[in-house]
Amino acid sequence: MVILPPLLMKTIKLKQKEERRILRGHPWVFSNELVFSARDFIAGEIVDVQDSGGRFIGRGYINPHSLIAVRLLTRKQEEIDQAFFTRRISAAHALRTLLGYGDSFRAVFSEGDGLPGLIVDKYADTLVVQSLTAGMDALQNDIIAALKEEYAPTAIVQRNDTSSRGLEGLSQETSVVHGAIDGLVTIEESGITYQVDVLEGQKTGFFFDQRENRLALREYVKNRRVLDCFCYVGAWSLSAARFGASEVIGLDSSEKAVTQAAKNAALNGLAAEFKKADVFDELRAREKQHERFGCIILDPPAFVKSRAKVREALKGYKEINLRAMKLLEPGGFLVTCSCSHHIDEDLFREMLIDAAHSAGRQARLLEMRSQARDHPVLIAARETQYLKCAILVVD
């Protein structure tokens, strides 16, 4: 038997005292932490990372055009090939199975599943893949092959249409790379059936990250009038209706979204009204009409795309929250969310304090929740815990 020598890997070296964060589990290497510039590397190349003394730290992919120069895939000297992705994807699947997820869930959550830059959502027999980085783009053949091996899907869609790809020097596109898609995909979550547009819907078509937060509505909506803001295809609204709300109104600026939300309500035999509206304007108008609700849900899109825009975004969050608080009846519940990792839990709570003060209301925090368990948080990387969901009683 011929024993082949180990594959020679290109290497990069860290400056002195830059390895501690990485050794403690964070998977990113920033460009200013490197001894030499990464400009001579090709975006997506696999490299080994060494500390200043030349000791191996990890293996990942590099992008010389990004502030995050290297994203680590492994702390071992192992091949990054189809077998590697099969192991990681299979381990992620096993975790979801152990946690009791059905046939629709987030199958791969980037750094949270040891595959930075890769998102995979499973919609029944259809997989939707998002490659967010040049490194994952370069490895797509192995990834698709591993997904086929693990899940045997009838279709795989690539939703490479996120604006963040521009930061990696990548184009935006959507394509079906396996099988065929004929219209909407039907899924079931927590006893409710939805039809999802995996080709043109927001993100990959649906928001699995709020699954367990929607279940928490059971305690807060029975016999109450509920206003669901930024309702998209109606998941919060239908959960409220299912849990006994006396009336449910969903608002969204997208005509297509509210039309699909109404169809999803009819599909489940649940009563809910959906209206195309600008949420900011609608909240002000309903306040002028002296309307009152027993529960209001705020699940807006990310108001902030970069750290430089945090202050501006906080103004938007404060505005919708104070308007919602003014519309709540005494003792009403506010379920309010932020999906931006640039606004951490402390900033979010401070914003809610300001909003309550400006609304002239007293708010008490009952629960501070996060993303569903199919979006596991890498404890060494706070960036992976992006979702905040506060449930308040407003007196």
Instruction: Return per-residue pLDDT of the chain as tens, 395 residues.
Output: 434 344 568 999 999 999 999 999 999 999 999 999 888 899 999 999 999 999 999 999 999 999 999 999 999 999 999 999 999 999 999 999 999 999 999 999 999 999 999 999 999 999 999 999 999 999 999 999 999 999 999 999 999 998 888 888 889 999 999 999 989 999 999 999 999 999 999 999 999 999 999 999 999 999 999 999 999 999 999 999 999 999 999 999 999 999 999 999 999 999 999 999 999 999 999 999 999 999 999 999 888 766 777 888 899 999 999 999 999 999 999 999 999 888 999 999 999 999 999 999 999 999 999 999 999 999 999 999 999 999 999 99
The answer to whether residue 339 is catalytic is: yes
Could you tell me which CATH number the domain at 82-185 has? Answer: 3.30.750.80
Cα–Cα distance for residue pair 218/393, rounded to 1 Å? 15
Q: Which CATH architecture has domain 207-394?
A: 3-Layer(aba) Sandwich (3.40)
Q: Provide the pairing of β-strand 388-394 with 185-189.
A: unpaired
List the structure tokens of 13.
């070296």
Contact 274, 234 (CB under 8 A): yes
> Which is catalytic among the residues 229, 231, 337, 339?
339
Cα–Cα distance for residue pair 65/274, rounded to 1 Å? 44
Contact 347, 187 (CB under 8 A): no
Q: Which amino acid is at 54?
A: G
At the top level of CATH, the class of 10-74 is mainly beta
Prediction pTM value:
0.94
Contact 250, 275 (CB under 8 A): yes
Domain residues of the chain, as ranges? 10-74, 82-185, 207-394
